C-alpha cells in the first residue's frame, strides 16, 4: 500500500517536469522546421544562376563598389584562405590548375543538418571579378549531397576587393552576404601557435 501512495505522490511532479520539458522541445522543433523551410531549394523555375544578374546590380549599389580592384587576376586568389564564422569555419586552397579543396567545420546548429565537417574538392573559374566554385567530389558523401541539395553544385561570388592578406567577396543569395577571407601563411600559422 505504501508503494501505491508513493507512486501517486510522484506522478504530479513527473507530469509537471514533462510539461516544463516539452516547452523547450517545442521551441527547438519550431526553430528547426523554420530553418529547414528557409534553407529549402529554389522553386523549379528559379535557379541561382538566373538570379545572379539582378543581385549583382543590387550588391554594387548597396556596397558602393568602392573597394573594387582595377583588375583581379587568378594569381591573386591562389593559395590558402580561411573564413571563421559562427555557423562554420572554412579553409580553402585555390590551386593554379583551376582546382581547389575546402575543409568546413560546422558550428553546432549547422552540424545538426550537415554533420560536423565536410571536405570538398572543387573546380574554380574567374571571369572579370566573378569567382565560381563548382563541387566535384566530397566526403562524407551524405554531407556533400545535403550541401548540394540545399545550396547547389556551384557557388558564385563577386570579388569586391583583394589584397595580399584579405579577399572581400559577396555572394548572390537573397539578401547578399559579405565574406572577408584571410590569407593563411606560414607566418600566420606560427604566430597563432605561440
Q: What is the mean pLDDT of residues 18-22?
A: 60
Classified as helix, coil or strand, 123 is: strand
Cell of 112: 545538426
Q: For residue 81, what are the β-bridge partners?
A: 92, 183
Q: E-strand spans in 49-184?
A: 79-84, 88-94, 99-106, 117-127, 130-139, 154-162, 166-171, 178-183
C-alpha dihedral sign at 187, 191, 192, 194: positive
Exposure string of 73-106, with b = 16+ CB inside 10 Å and e = fewer, is: eeebbeebbebeeeebebbbebeeeeebbbebeb
CATH annotation of 48-193: 2.40.128.20
Q: What is the pLDDT of residues 57-103, one digit of tens each?
A: 333 433 333 444 468 999 999 999 999 998 999 999 999 999 999 99
Q: What is the mean pLDDT of residues 141-170?
A: 94
Place of cell 501505491: 4
pTM above 0.85, yes or no: no
Residue ranges of the domains in the chain? 1-38, 48-193
Amino acid at each position: 500500500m505504501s508503494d501505491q501512495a508513493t507512486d501517486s505522490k510522484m506522478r504530479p511532479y513527473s507530469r509537471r517536469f514533462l510539461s516544463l520539458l516539452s516547452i523547450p522541445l517545442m521551441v527547438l522543433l519550431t526553430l528547426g522546421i523554420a530553418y529547414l523551410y528557409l534553407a529549402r531549394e529554389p522553386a523549379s523555375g528559379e535557379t541561382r544562376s538566373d538570379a545572379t544578374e539582378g543581385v549583382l546590380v543590387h550588391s554594387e549599389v548597396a556596397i558602393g563598389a568602392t573597394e573594387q580592384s582595377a583588375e583581379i587576376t587568378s594569381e591573386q586568389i591562389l593559395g590558402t584562405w580561411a573564413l571563421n564564422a559562427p555557423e562554420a569555419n572554412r579553409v580553402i586552397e585555390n590551386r593554379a590548375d583551376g582546382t581547389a579543396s575546402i575543409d568546413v567545420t560546422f558550428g553546432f546548429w549547422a552540424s545538426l543538418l550537415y554533420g560536423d565537417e565536410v571536405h570538398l574538392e572543387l573546380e574554380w573559374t574567374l571571369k572579370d571579378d566573378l569567382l565560381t566554385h563548382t563541387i566535384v567530389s566530397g566526403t562524407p558523401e551524405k554531407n556533400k549531397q545535403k550541401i548540394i541539395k540545399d545550396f547547389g553544385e556551384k557557388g558564385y561570388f563577386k570579388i569586391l576587393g583583394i589584397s595580399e592578406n584579405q579577399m572581400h567577396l559577396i555572394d548572390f543569395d537573397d539578401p547578399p552576404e559579405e565574406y572577408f577571407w584571410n590569407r593563411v601563411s606560414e607566418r600566420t600559422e606560427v604566430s597563432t601557435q605561440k
